[in-house]
Amino acid sequence: MSGALVLLLALGLLLVLGVPVAFALGLASAAALASQIATEPALVTVAQRSVTGLDSFSLLAIPFFVLSGELLNRGGVARRLIAFGKALVGALPGGMLVVDGVACLLFGSLSGSAVAATAAVGSFLVPRMERDGYPRSATTALTMTASTTGLLIPPSNILIVYALASGGVSVAALFWAGYLPGILVGVLLVAAALLSNRRSLPRARRREPGELGRATRGALPALLLIVVVMGGITVGAFTATEAAAVAVLYSLGLCALYREIGVRELPDVFRQAAATSGVVLLLVATSMAMAWVLAFERVPQRVAETLLEAASGAAGGWLVLLGINLLLLVAGTFLDMTPAVLIFTPLFLPVVSSLGFDPVHFGIILVLNLCIGLCTPPVGTVLFVGLGVGRLGLGELLPKLLPLYAAMIVALVLVTAFPGLSLWLPRLLGL
Amino acid sequence: GGPSARDGREVLRLGHGLDPSHPVHRAMEAMADELARRTGGRLRLEIFPSEQLGSERELLELLQIGSVELTKVSASVLESFAPSFRVLGVPYLFDDTEHQWRVLEGPVGDRLLASPEAVRLRGLAFYDAGARSFYTRDRPIRTPEDLAGLKIRTQESPSAIAMVRALGGNATPISWGELYTALQQGVVDGAENNPPSFHLSHHYEVARFYSLDEHTAVPDVLLASTALWKRLGAADREHLLAAARHSARIQRRLWKEASDEALRAVREAGVQVDTVDKAPFARRTAALRDELAREPEMAELLEAIEAQRLAVTEALP
Amino acid sequence: MSAPDDSSRFAARWRRRLDSWVGGLCAALLALMVVNVSWQVFSRYVLRDPSSVTEELARFLLIWLGLFGGAYALGRGQHVAIDALVVRLPAGWRRGTSIAASLCVLTFAISLLLFGGTRLALLVHRLDQESAALGVGLAWVYAALPLSGLVFAGFALLDLADAVRPREARE
Ligand code: NA
Ligand code: NA
C-alpha cells in the first residue's frame, strides 16, 4: 500500500476517534513512513522532523504575541483600545468587525506574517469583542482569514520564497503586485463577515458627547505600542519577529502603568500563554512531519504531474489554470505554505508561462490560493493559531469560516480572471 | 518495511537545499542518468531539491538515521560532523581555482571525503561553490577598514563569525530566509555569499555593492550514508562513485557559467561590482590560519595544501 | 472509604503536581525567551555589538516550549480535536472513544517521543553533534523529546484513568 494511502486512512480513523489533531498528524505520519522504510528509522525520522519543524526563528512570533495579547487583556490595555475603536466606529452596525478586519490587514501587512497577526490581534481583540456581544467564533474566523492578507501586501516573506523558487521574478514587482489583491481580499472578507453575521451582531449605538476624546486619551499609551512596534520595524531597529518580543516588553510596561494586575499574577499569565502556544506549536511540529512524509512519497509532484498530463490533452490556457487552482486549493488543505510554494512553483510556472501568463500574476494567484489553505482543516498554521487563541473547537469555528472561504474564493476568481489587478501597479512603475 | 528495494531495483533518495534551476541540481540529474546507465536502471536516483527533505544539517542527520541515502551540503556544515573539514574554511586557503581543485581532487581531498566514516557518512565528491564575497547596502568594501562597525550577516559557525570579526565587521546571525527584508530595512548592513546565491536570492535588489574580496572558497560535498555504502556491493559502490565524479565534472562547468551569468545579471541590474586588492584582507585573517595550525592534524593538512601550491611553482621554468 | 475514591484522589494529586511542575517550567522558558530576544535587539541596535548566540538559543528554547507547552496543554485538556462525530455517539460509545483517544496519545508519547526521541538524542550524543553558535551538545536540544514524552505519557495515563473509571466515581 502506498504511504499516502496509509497516511490518509490512519489520519481519518484517528480524527474520527476524537484524537486531538496534533497527535493524529504525528501518529499517521509515523504509520505512513513505517509502511515504506524500516520502523525504527521511521519513528526517529518523524521525531526529528517534529523538532526541526519548530526550529525556526520566525515561529517565535507565536508565543510572544500570544503572551503580549494575554498581558494587554488582563492589564486593562485591550479594554482601552477597544473603547477607542468603539468610539470611532461604534455608530456603524457591526463596526467592530471592520476594526478587526483593518487591524489584521495592517498588522499582517507590516509584520508579513499571517500567524503573527492572528496571534496578536486574535489574542487581544477576540475576548474583548465577545464582551461587547460579538460571537467569539465570528471574530476568530474573520481575524484568521483577514490576517492572511498580510502575505499579499508587502513586505511578505512568502513572495520572496516564490521569487526564489521561480528563479528570476523580481521581488519588487511581486510586492507591488500584491497590494490591490490583498486589499480586495480584506474588503470582501469584512463584507462577508458583516453579511453572514448580520443577525447576531450587537446593535449600533450613538456616540456620547466627548466619548472620542476620552477614549483617545485613555488609549494613547496603548496606541503608542503600535507606533513603537511598526516604527521599529520600519526604521530597521528590529525584524518583524523580534518586534514580538518588544511588544511583550511594552505590554509589561503598560501593565505596570495601569496597575490592573499585580506581579503575583504574572506567572499565571505566562503559564496561560505557554499552554496556548503549546497547542499551536505542537500542531506546527507534527504537521511539518506530515508535510515531510508527503514530500518523501512525492505526493504533491505525482498529483501535479497527473493533472498536467490530463490538461495537456485539453485546449485552452484558462482550463489549465482552473485545474491548477483547484489542485492548489486541495493541496493547500494538507500542506503548509512554504513547502507548497517550493514544490509547486517549479512544476507549474513553466506550464503557465508557456500559456502566456505573467509569472508575477501567477505568483499572486499561487499565494492567494495557499492563503485559503492556511485557514482550512486539517493542516493550516493560521487555523491552528485561531483555534488556540480563540479557545474554540473546530465544530464551532467551521460554520463561521465557510462564508469567509467563499469570499476568498471569489477574490481568487477575480484575481485570476483580471490580471490587471495584479499587474497594473508594477507596470505603472515600470517593473 | 525494509529498505526501498523492490525486485532488485533500489531507489536512492538524494535531498539538497538548492532550487531545481541551480547548477548543483542539474549536475545531480546528470548523476542520476549516469547511475541508471551504468546499472541498467537497477539503482535509481530520486532528487529532492529546495529543502523538501530538510536543511543541510538536518539532511546529514537523516543520513545518519537511515531514512535518506544521499545529500549535498556545504563543507562548512560538515565541520561539526567531521572536524577535518574546518581546514577548508581558512580564508585565502588557495591561490586560485587550479590550486583548489588540485587539492580537492588529490590525496587531501580523498582523505577529507573518507573522514566522516566514523559518523556514518561517506563523502563521494566535491562540488564547486565558488568564493564568497561581501555585499552591502550603502557603500562598497574596498579595504577591511570599510567593514569597521558594519553589521554583516554571518552563517552560524564559529569560523565564519571569527572571520568577519577578524576583518573588523560585526558578525550578525540572521536566518537566510529573513535576510532580504533585514537588508532592505537596514537591520544588517551587508552579508556575504557567492555570485549565484547573491543573484538567485534577489539580495542584489536591496544590496547595491558587491565587492569581490573572495575571502573563502568552501566547496560543497556530495555524501552517502554509510548504511547505503555498506549495503551496496563493491561493483555498485564503484558505479555510485563514478556517477558522482561524472556529475562533479559537469557541475564545475555549469557553476562557472552560472557564476559568470550571475555577475553579468547583477551588473546589468545596476549593482556596482568591484574587484578589490585581496592582500590586506588576507593579512587581517592570517591569524585564523595560524590558530588552526596549532592542532597537529590541521597543521598536517595545511602543509599538504601548501605543498600542492609549491609543486606548481617549482614546475614553472 | 472505597478503593476508587482513593485512586481518584491519588490521580488528582498527581495531576496537580505534574501541572504545577510543567507550568512552572513553561513560564520560565517563556520568560527566558523574552529576555533572550530582547537582548538580541538591544545588543545589535543599541550596543552595536550583536550577540552571536541569541538567535540559536531562541530557536532551542522554542523547541522546548513547544514540546513542554504541548504536554502542559494536554494536562489542561486544551488540545484541538474534531469532536463533531464523537459528541453524537451514545454515552457508552463515547466512553470507548475517549479511552481509545487516550491510548493513541499514550502511543504517540511512547513510540515517537520516548522511543524515537531517545534514539535521536543518543545518536547525536554518540556522534558528538554540537550546535553551531552556542557549542552545546545537540543532544540537549533533542532531549526535550523524551523528557516531554514522560509528561505527555503521565497526563495520558491520568486521562486514561479518568476515562476507565465508572461514571459515579468520577463525580
Ligand atoms: Na506583508
Ligand atoms: Na489547510
Q: Report the pLDDT averaged over residues B252-269.
A: 96
Identify the pLDDT of residue A312.
66
Q: Is A229 on the interface with B (CB under 8 A)?
A: no
For ligand 1, the distance from its centroid to the CA atom of residue C33, given in whole angstroms, is 25
How would you classify the pairing of strands B132-136 and B190-193?
antiparallel
Cell of C26: 513553561
Neighbours of chain B (3+ CB pairs under 8 A): A, C
To the nearest whole Å, the CA of C67 is away from the closest chain B CA by 19
Lowest mean per-residue pLDDT among B19-23, B70-74, C122-126: B19-23
Q: Is the pLDDT of residue B20 over 90?
A: no
Higher pLDDT, A154 or C64: C64
CB-neighbour burial class of residue B6 (10 A; exposed 0-12, middle 13-18, buried 19+): exposed
Helix residue ranges, H only, B143-295:
158-166, 179-185, 195-200, 226-231, 234-268, 279-292
C166 pLDDT exceeds 70?
no
Residue partners of A271: CB distance under 8 A and separation at least 6: C23, C24, C26, C27, C72
Establish if A413 belongs to a structural domain. yes
- Specify the higher pLDDT residue, A344 or A411: A411
- The pLDDT, as a whole number, for residue B313 is 53
DSSP string for A74-90 = HTTHHHHHHHHHHHHHT
Q: Between B53 and A345, whose confidence is greater?
A: B53
pLDDT exceeds cutoff 90 at B134: yes
| Structural domain span for residue A73 | 58-277+300-428
> Which pLDDT belongs to residue B317?
46
Q: Does residue B67 belong to the interface with chain C, where contact is any CB pair within 8 Å?
A: no
pLDDT band at A351 (very low <50, low <70, confident <90, very high): confident
Q: Is the peptide bond before A378 cis (omega within 30 degrees of 0)?
A: yes
Q: Which ligand is nearest to the CA of A330?
A: 2
Average per-residue pLDDT for chain B: 92
- The count of residues in chain C is 171
Position B53 confidence tier, pLDDT thresholds 50, 70, 90: very high
Asked whether the predicted pLDDT for residue A333 surpasses 70, the reply is yes
Report the side by side order of strands in the sheet with B190-193. Answer: B170-172, B151-153, B190-193, B132-136, B209-216, B272-275
User: For A140-149, A211-220, A224-233, B89-98, which range has the lowest pLDDT when averaged over its residues?
Assistant: A224-233
Between residues C148 and C81, which one has the greater pLDDT? C148
Closest by Cβ to A51, choosing from C33, C72, C145: C145
pLDDT value of residue B11: 94
Grid cell digits, residue A175: 510586492
A285 in any annotated domain: no
Task: Say if A124 falls within a structural domain.
Answer: yes
Domain count, chain C: 1
* Confidence grade of residue B2 (pLDDT, cut at 50, 70, 90): very low
pLDDT tens column, A220-261: 888 888 788 778 877 888 887 788 899 899 999 999 988 888
Query: How many beta-carbon pairs under 8 angstroms link A with B?
Result: 104
pLDDT tier at B93, thresholds 50, 70, 90:
very high
Collapsing DSSP to helix, strand or coil, A346 comes out as helix
Q: Using the beta-carbon criterion (under 8 Å), do C38 and A275 form an inter-chain contact?
A: no
Summarised one tens digit per residue, pLDDT across range A91-119 is: 777 888 888 898 888 877 766 778 878 98
Give the ligand whose atoms come closest to the C-alpha of residue A107: 1
Helix (H) or strand (E) holding B125: strand B121-127
Residue B6 clears pLDDT 70, i.e. is over it:
no
Least confident of B142-156, B235-249, C26-40: B142-156
Does A363 reside within a domain? yes
pLDDT at B48: 94
- Best A270, A276, A381, A391 residue to mutate vs chain C (most C CBs within 10 Å): A270
Distance (Å) from the C-alpha of residue C134 to the closest C-alpha of chain A?
15
Cell of residue A356, nine digits:
502566456
C78 near A275, Cβ under 8 Å? yes
List C-alpha distances in Å: C68 to A358, C74, C131.
46, 10, 21
| B71, β-bridge pairs | B15, B223
Mean predicted confidence (pLDDT) in A188-210: 84
Q: What pLDDT does residue C4 have?
A: 57
Tell me: pLDDT of C85 over 50.
Answer: yes
If one counts the domains in chain A, the total is 1
The β-bridge relationship of strands B70-74 and B9-15 is parallel
pLDDT digits (tens, 9 = 90+) for B24-52: 999 999 999 999 999 999 999 999 998 88
pLDDT of residue A13: 93
Distance from CA of B1 to the nearest CA of C (A): 16
With a cut of 70, say whether residue C171 has pLDDT above it.
no
Our CA angle for A13, A15, A16, nearest 5°, is 65
A273-331 pLDDT, tens digit per residue, is 999 899 889 988 998 898 899 889 988 888 777 777 776 665 566 777 888 888 888 87
**Band of pLDDT at residue C3, cut at 50, 70 and 90:** low
Euclidean distance between CA atoms B65 and B120, whole angstroms: 9
Chain C residues lying within 8 Å of B173, measured CB to CB:
50, 52, 54-56, 133
Instruction: Specify if A359 maps to a domain.
Output: yes
C-alpha dihedral (C83, A300, A41, B85), degrees to nearest 10: -130
Query: What domain range includes position C113?
Result: 3-170
Distance A369 CA to ligand 1 centre (A): 16
Task: Give tens-digit pLDDT for C55-77.
Answer: 999 999 999 999 999 999 999 99
Cα–Cα distance measured from residue A34 to residue A40, given in angstroms and rounded to the nearest whole number? 8
Supply the pLDDT for residue A299.
85
Percentage above 90 pLDDT, chain C: 65
CB contact under 8 A, B151 and C44: yes
With CB atoms and an 8 Å threshold, state whether A281 touches C30: no
Inter-chain contact A342–B51, Cβ cutoff 8 Å?
Answer: yes
Cβ separation of C50 and B173 shorter than 8 Å?
yes
- B62: contact with A, CB 8 A cutoff: yes
**pLDDT higher than 70, residue C29:** yes
Question: Which of helix, strand or coil describes residue B48?
Answer: strand
Is B50 an 8 Å CB contact of chain A? Answer: yes
What SS3 string covers A174-242? HHHHHHHHHHHHHHHHHHHHHHHCCCCCCCCCCCCCCHHHHHHHHHHHHHHHHHHHHHHHHCCCCCHHH
CA distance C14 to chain A (A): 18
Mean pLDDT of A40-45: 98
Cis peptide before A63 (omega within 30 of 0): no
The answer as to whether A136 is a domain residue is: yes
Asked if A284 is an interface residue toward chain C (Cβ–Cβ < 8 A), one would say yes
**Cβ separation B50–A35 shorter than 8 A:** no
A58 to chain B: nearest residue by CA?
B178
B128-154: average pLDDT = 95
Q: Residue B4: what pLDDT?
A: 47
- For residue A155, the CA-to-ligand 1 centroid distance in Å is 4
Centre a 10 Å sphere on the Cβ of residue B66 and count the other Cβ atoms it contains: 21
d(CA C79, CA C72): 10
Quick one: DSSP state of residue C137? B
Among the partner residues B46, B58, B175, nearest to A52 by beta-carbon distance:
B58
8 Å CB contact of B119 and C123: no
Burial C61-73 (b: 16+ CB within 10 A, else e): bbbbbbbbbbbbb
